[in-house]
Amino acid sequence: MAETAIAGLGMTELGKVYGHSPRRLAAQAVRAAAADAGLALTDLDGLIVAPGMSGGPGVELARTLGLRDLRLLTTMNAFGASAGAMVAYATSMISAGSASAVACVFADAPLRPERPAGAAYDRTAPEWHGLDGLRAALGFRSVNAYYALAARRHMARYGTTSEQFGAIAVGTRAWATGNPLAQMREPISLRDHQESRWVVEPLHLLDCCLVSNGGVAVIVTGAERARDLARPPVYVWGWGQGHPGHRLERGSEFGLTTGAAISGPAAMKMAGVTTGDITMCQLYDCYTYTVLVSLEDYGFCAKGEGGPFAASGTLGPGGALPTNTGGGQLSAYYMWGMTPLSEAVIQARGDGGERQAARNDLILVSGNGGIIDHHSTLIVGPHPKGHR
């Protein structure tokens, strides 16, 4: 299979950015990514769009950008796993000769000035019916409740504690202090975490990700071509997906394992590496819990040992496994799977500034979608595949 690389990264303003539609934000991100790569829009012959949750752009984005004679145009929605899935699909199409330069973009604008961030994704009462209506009557009215259920199950089975979740929040915020794009840059303590209000027990406010408006895009092209473009290539070593299909019923592994246990081994096998070769992680952190359970499922620690592993300090600045070095979705910005992917590109290029990790040889990037329903993994780095 032909080698590919990420050659361009485009990011709009992120966070409480008002007055722009998702389509406009997506167009800004694609233009910025193409310029970053040193490409004209006319050099693109592929476009993959992840539409977001607030009526985001679809294939009509191609017309907005004035793209013509495309050989690849599609939308892809695996929720938070979309970024990894888009890059994998773009790589496959380029390797097959069906495209040569593909823009992958996500944009969303759920925030409104007149309503709180916590209501950004709320569904209205008339949408609840059938089984959803029954679950709503029992209190399951948002994704927060389902992830709280998953976290509680992990706690009950393995003795995981709220303080261990809190260690992830504290370490992630420590990384965010060095990221000028982060929405939250003030350091926090474990006490701050424990005293933050409940969202749904056992999840405190500081266990939960931000809500952001904005757009992020990357340009995927052949590795040989990428070496001649404007920015250092970020080579794609491997990828995988996992969709466990856990049901909310007795005997299910819901809350205990995720699709990382499927997508991780697939990506590492393709890349020809093991967890021992990974020098940095950019993990999907919609909640602190998802970081912890993903680390277990990837094999960085044994099942049930994610809590002590996270609390040891290994993930934060100065730790042995730098993780979510830009502040992740907990502290930087929430752009679905484009949050970890964008930081991976920044780190692989050595553009992290004061937060740049000492070793960036191989970076694992995860995406998590739905209620732990979908998972994607990418292995990327600044050197061509096989380099040691």
Q: Which positions are catalytic?
A: 284, 334
Please return the burial class of 12, using the count of CB atoms within 10 Å of its CB with bins 0-12, 13-18 and 19+.
buried
Q: Which residues pair with 367 in a beta bridge?
A: 376
Given a contact cutoff of 8 angstroms between Cβ atoms, the answer to whether 104 and 217 are in contact is: yes
Strand segments, DSSP code E, in 214-300 are: 214-222, 234-242, 280-282
Q: Are the CB atoms for 61 and 47 separated by under 8 Å?
A: yes
Contacts with 387 (C-beta within 8 Å, 6 or more apart), sequence order: 381
The answer to whether the peptide bond before residue 57 is cis (omega within 30 degrees of 0) is no
| 148 contacts 201 by C-beta, under 8 angstroms | yes
Query: Under a CB-based contact definition with an 8 Å cutoff, are residues 239 and 270 in contact?
Result: yes
Query: How many beta carbons lie within 10 A of that of residue 269, not counting itself?
Result: 12
Token pair 């007149």 is found at: 114
Long-range contacts of 306-311 (CB under 8 A, 24+ apart): 306/158, 306/160, 306/164, 307/158, 307/159, 307/160, 307/161, 307/164, 307/165, 308/164, 310/164, 310/165, 310/167, 310/168, 310/171, 311/163, 311/164, 311/167
**How are beta strands 4-11 and 234-242 bridged, if at all?**
antiparallel
**Burial environment of residue 386 by CB neighbours within 10 A (0 to 12, 13 to 18, 19 or more):** exposed
Q: Kindly give, in sequence order, each residue whose CB lies less than 8 Å from that of residue 191, ignoring residues fewer than 6 positions away.
A: none
Q: How far is CA 325 from the centre of its chain?
A: 13
